Structure 1
Amino acid sequence: MSVDKKVLQEFTLERDNELRFEVESKTEKVYLTLKSGTAEVFGTELVKAKTYEFTAGAKVAVFTWHGCVVEVKGKTDVIYTAKETPMVLYSNCHAALEVMRVEADRENKRGPIAMLVGPCDVGKSTVCRILLNYAVRMGRRPIYVDLDVGQGHISIPGTIGALMVERPAVIDEGFSQEAPLVYSFGQKSPQNNQTLFSILVQQLAITVKERLEVNKKTRASGVIINTCGWIKNAGYKQLISNAKAFEVDAIFVLDQERLYNELVRDMPNFVKIIFMAKSGGVVERSKSLRVEARDQRIREYFYGTPKNSLYPHSFDVKFSDVKIYKVGAPALPDSCLPLGMKADDHLTKLVPITPNAGILHHIMAVSFAENEDDIITSHVAGFVCVTNLDTERQMITLLSPQPKPLPNNILVMSDLQFMDTH
């Protein structure tokens, strides 16, 4: 359906209906306004008469419990009203978690720890967002844990992290990113180094449990965990391992009955396994769209969003002022291994790197580690990108969200690269 750019469309939604639209064109902006009634986008309430702006890549679902009228201005690629949505089911899951929180509050215990699992592109991070928003709207302070290194919702791709959620996500920006706890994995998929991934998940779980202990409100509110779409064979084992590390009480399985049945078979009885249908509005992304989304996340880390621009700094550091490491060395055949060394030890080996052309455009994690022994399990202060290398002057040029000096001189190289085109 071709729409004139300046066209205004008005939609009257019946109760429990959802208006879904997508913006694909890089040059388009689409504006949404709630005219009357009540509505929400992924669990965040729309403010009446306020205009929300959406740019390229936005996939939006406006849901109403009681009916509403909304206005959409601008050119959308897809726009339609859905009468069938899983929102009632998601709301019931929230209600079940809320019952557990009330009890936790009363008995000063730990609230529910819920994990979302399922294949790629079934809407796991969206359901996390809905459940977190509903919890916050009830006055809770849950912790959001993201184990999806492919997309990186809390920081950049190649990381896992946790964030205390104190207010609903901003409709066009997501959750406020104040003081997230981030560990750098440095790869796009856990499959690339499962040993390292498991170590980081265990470490994150320990730290999250510590955070739950110190804050009564957060302790009762519990944790919502997002996972990646790798669910077969070793990926399945990793899910079980994640569940044990965080001591989950509930696992919500999106859109895959086989996975649901396997978890019912393999998880202890006290863990509730709940099957959930995916929303009809979920869109499968091609490989190229995933790559583009990753690049966009990294670009936003340095430059912000169209609505909220950031101005990163570029500065030089001497080769001698930083120590650069990579985690993981090439595998040695068993016959060459030193006595007592296991075959997968190379996966967590720290390799010092002398600055060379190979590090150009790579993302580097600025580690909080105080010495070499802590590098692998330390969380990170943030990220920089190597934009230039001058071997004559022995200088590296870094793109950084903050001015110099760096918070620490230990940098850990990620496999992810970013071409700074600004």
Structure 2
Amino acid sequence: MFSTPARTYGDAIGERILRVRIRASVNPRTKVYSPPENPNEIKDIPGEPPAPTEVKERIAGREYEFPRGTPKEEVERVIKRDLESETGIGRAVVRVRDGDVEVLIAGAKPPISHTLPPDKVAVSVEPLGGAIHIGEGDRVRVFVDGRELGEAEVWRRVDDRVVLVMEERIAEKLLKEITRGKAGVPDGGGRGGSERGGKLKRERVRIEGGSIRVDGPSRALVIRGEATTNKGTEVCEGEELVIRRGERLTLTTDSELEVELILGTGAGYSVEEDDVEIPSDWKELAEELADHGGTPICMVIGPQDSGKTTLVTFIANELVERGLKVGVVDADIGQSDVGPPAVVSLGIVEDTIHDLSEVEMRHGYFVGSITPSGHLLQTTVGTRRMVDLALAEGTNAVLIDTSGMVHGGPARALKLHKVDVIRPSHVAFLDRNGQVSHIKRMVGSLEYIEVHDLTVPEAVKDVERKDRIRRRERVLREFFEKREILELDLEEISVQRAFIGTGEPVDLEEESKLPALIKAVSGVEPEILHAERAPDAVILVVRDQAGRIVGRGGRHARELRRLLNVREFVVVNEEELQGVLVGLCDGAGDLLGIGVIREIDFTSGELKVEGRLLRDRTIRVVQLGSLKVDPETGSHEPMNVRV
């Protein structure tokens, strides 16, 4: 016997979905939640239009199946969204208590004024515990750190945030709390953070046609009207946009537009009387990709601060608007948007986005560095792997956002070999001040490529190096917020991209001549913690003094290579392995997550990594990077030794 259809809450590669299936038997790993089976027990929301009886009958006894342990708030959120998608339900309130589901519904949304009163101020906030029980038109009390600031009315609800209308004196109190770092105006935006200790400035801007340019770090809340952004998205009343430090947002309209701005340290804005148009050749490229037979692959090449990411975001939005599924390969490993730094990542875009950082990483390839220099092979292989996976995901177009490394021999080799191995159908150049003319000449005559020399918008903003570092630290810090300690058996994993872990362990009691040989050549009596010998190398981990063992200019290492008859002599201090960034892969070589080395116990054969896994699979491969990272602060520095 089949039971009533159950709506199952699932997780598909990081994307939360709600799907319907027939439940044949009870699953001990899941729990079923259900509104009352009696329609009369489904209550009306006081003061709001009642829902028709037939609607209550339709949802009564409906089953929702969740994995056991799913937080109560998440159960409430999913059921609420499902009910509000039903015809005849304007708003639903869902409460789960001791496994029972209480449901209140209204037949229509409460009437909301679309005009902000002149004596009121609108502020967008993210309520503690989520916005699941908060509806438009509700009266709420505002608390910060347990202290009540005053009352407000919910004007809009956008995803997990609500826009509150409040008296200006209450808004001023709230802004003071934000200034003290207790609420949300970002230092870099997009993924969160707060401007601590800096002064915040609030501005109300009204225009009748034209454009508003806003530099981050800031937030822009649309109070009245509609506008188009420089990334091709439409925004309307109640929507809030976050502008990260070093970035610029342009809002363009041909009618009335009113925006509330909260500006962090170093932020600013300007009003342009004329519309800031998206370049026509950007639109033409989007149309050409949409009309292309098969699956077009477009690689974007340009120097730093030329608008590459903005172009990729714009084209992705244009293609999505035409009903296409777009794969975005983020190969800018130093200023990553889709995945963490040091990773070439793939995201799938199926809805319009304001910022590329909204796209979740579907797959990744660990490079282990924030610059392609010295890692050309990993960057090229990773980009090709992500393109292949994008095609396997059934995308209708693939866009590749590349790094701004365009000068010098390694940069030429990187761009040329990427084109050669990927064979894109289109290459879009953003040639700011002729900085990529040499790369255009290298690929311009290839018959399989359509070359597009695109306009670099005047609104593109130069980003200072310190702001790039600051943003990268924030992204790393936020990525590692959900980290855990992973204990790995060295006998069960393969170590890649390093000499260490690739040789046979050396029994130092049997090989007693090795310490004596090192002392004879370098004058250092080494405390060797671990030794390996491979066909081409001897690898040592010592307590300290690795530099003295190698010698100035490597002169001791050269003599030891000759005496030991190997091509490589690698020696590293124990502490130099701590904090090294590593990629964590499964048996198929697919990236599961990244982490940092916390400890290697060669006696017990255990490796401890502090990291974050994005997929629940067994780790079989650890790939060593050339970067050291503090996951608590996001600070990072290159490794200066070979391992």
TM-score tier after normalising by the smaller chain length: 0.7 to 0.9
Q: Which residue does the alignment assign to 2:440? A: 263
Residues 1:19 and 2:210 are matched in the alignment: no
Q: Which residue does the alignment assign to 1:327? A: 497
Partner amino acid for 1:243? V
1:285-330, CA deviations, whole angstroms, 9 ceiling, x for partnerless residues?
3333222222222112122xxxxxxxx2433515546636241559
Partner amino acid for 1:231? V
Q: Which residue does the alignment assign to 1:8? A: 203
Give 1:420 deviation, angstroms.
3.2
Distance 1:11 1:355, change over 3 A: farther
3-state DSSP of counterpart to 2:457 = coil
Q: Which residue does the alignment assign to 2:366? A: 184
Residues 1:360 and 2:562 are matched in the alignment: no
Partner amino acid for 2:209? E
**1:112–1:222 contact (8 Å) kept in structure 2:** yes
Give 1:280 deviation, angstroms.
3.0
Greater shift, 45-54 or 180-189, is seen at 45-54
Distance 1:364 1:406, change over 3 A: farther
Q: Which residue does the alignment assign to 1:307? A: none
Distance 1:362 1:281, change over 3 A: farther
1:85-135, CA deviations, whole angstroms, 9 ceiling, x for partnerless residues?
87432x54334432443352xxxxx23221111111222112111111221
Distance 1:300 1:321, change over 3 A: farther
Q: Which residue does the alignment assign to 2:513? A: none
Q: Trace 1:156-305 onto structure 2 (pairs within 5 A).
A: 156-171=340-355, 174-177=357-360, 180-211=362-393, 215=394, 218=395, 221-232=396-407, 233-254=409-430, 255-257=432-434, 259-260=436-437, 262-264=439-441, 266-267=443-444, 268-303=446-481
> Which of 254, 265, 276 is matched with 1:66 structurally?
254
Kindly indicate which of the two structures has a greater share of residues assigned to strand.
Answer: 2
Residues 1:414 and 2:625 are matched in the alignment: yes
Greater shift, 161-170 or 269-278, is seen at 269-278
- RMSD across aligned positions (CA): 3.6
In structure 2, distance between residues paired with 1:150 and 1:11: 37
Distance 1:314 1:404, change over 3 A: farther
Partner amino acid for 2:295? G
3-state DSSP of counterpart to 1:94 = helix
**1:19–1:80 contact (8 Å) kept in structure 2:** yes
1:229-259, CA deviations, whole angstroms, 9 ceiling, x for partnerless residues?
1113331232122123222222221114352
3-state DSSP of counterpart to 2:254 = coil
Give 1:160 deviation, angstroms.
1.1
1:163-193, CA deviations, whole angstroms, 9 ceiling, x for partnerless residues?
221112255x733305x22111111222213
Distance 1:326 1:285, change over 3 A: farther
Q: Trace 1:85-96 onto structure 2 (pairs within 5 A).
A: 87-89=277-279, 91-96=280-285
**2:297–2:424 contact (8 Å) kept in structure 1:** yes
Partner amino acid for 2:413? K
**1:161–1:181 contact (8 Å) kept in structure 2:** yes
**2:327–2:397 contact (8 Å) kept in structure 1:** yes
**2:592–2:617 contact (8 Å) kept in structure 1:** no
**How many percent identity over aligned positions?**
13
Partner amino acid for 1:317? E
**1:364–1:412 contact (8 Å) kept in structure 2:** yes
Residues 1:128 and 2:312 are matched in the alignment: yes
**1:260–1:273 contact (8 Å) kept in structure 2:** no
3-state DSSP of counterpart to 2:373 = helix
Kindly indicate which of the two structures has a greater share of residues assigned to helix.
Answer: 1
Partner amino acid for 2:424? V
In structure 2, distance between residues paired with 1:237 and 1:113: 20
Greater shift, 392-401 or 29-38, is seen at 392-401
Partner amino acid for 1:59? E
Q: Which residue does the alignment assign to 2:271? A: 81
Max radius of gyration: which structure?
Answer: 2
Q: Which residue does the alignment assign to 2:334? A: 150
Partner amino acid for 1:257? G
Distance 1:352 1:196, change over 3 A: farther
Partner amino acid for 1:79? Y
Give 1:65 deviation, angstroms.
5.0
Give 1:22 deviation, angstroms.
2.0
**1:34–1:46 contact (8 Å) kept in structure 2:** no
Q: Which residue does the alignment assign to 2:14? A: none
**1:251–1:274 contact (8 Å) kept in structure 2:** yes
In structure 1, distance between residues paired with 2:380 and 2:371: 12
Partner amino acid for 1:175? E
User: Scaled by the length of structure 1, what TM-score is found?
Assistant: 0.74
Q: Trace 1:330-409 onto structure 2 (pairs within 5 A).
A: 356-370=574-588, 378-387=589-598, 396-402=607-613, 407-409=618-620
3-state DSSP of counterpart to 2:259 = strand
Give 1:21 deviation, angstroms.
2.2
3-state DSSP of counterpart to 2:278 = helix
Distance 1:103 1:248, change over 3 A: closer
User: Scaled by the length of structure 2, what TM-score is found?
Assistant: 0.50
In structure 2, distance between residues paired with 1:353 and 1:84: 63
In structure 1, distance between residues paired with 2:623 and 2:629: 15
In structure 1, distance between residues paired with 2:291 and 2:324: 10
Unmatched tracts of structure 1, length 5 or more? 24-28, 105-109, 304-311, 331-336, 339-350, 371-377
3-state DSSP of counterpart to 1:282 = coil
Partner amino acid for 1:50? E
3-state DSSP of counterpart to 2:374 = helix
Greater shift, 195-204 or 229-238, is seen at 195-204
**2:580–2:624 contact (8 Å) kept in structure 1:** yes
Distance 1:118 1:316, change over 3 A: closer
Unmatched tracts of structure 2, length 5 or more? 1-197, 501-534, 537-568, 634-643
**2:493–2:619 contact (8 Å) kept in structure 1:** no
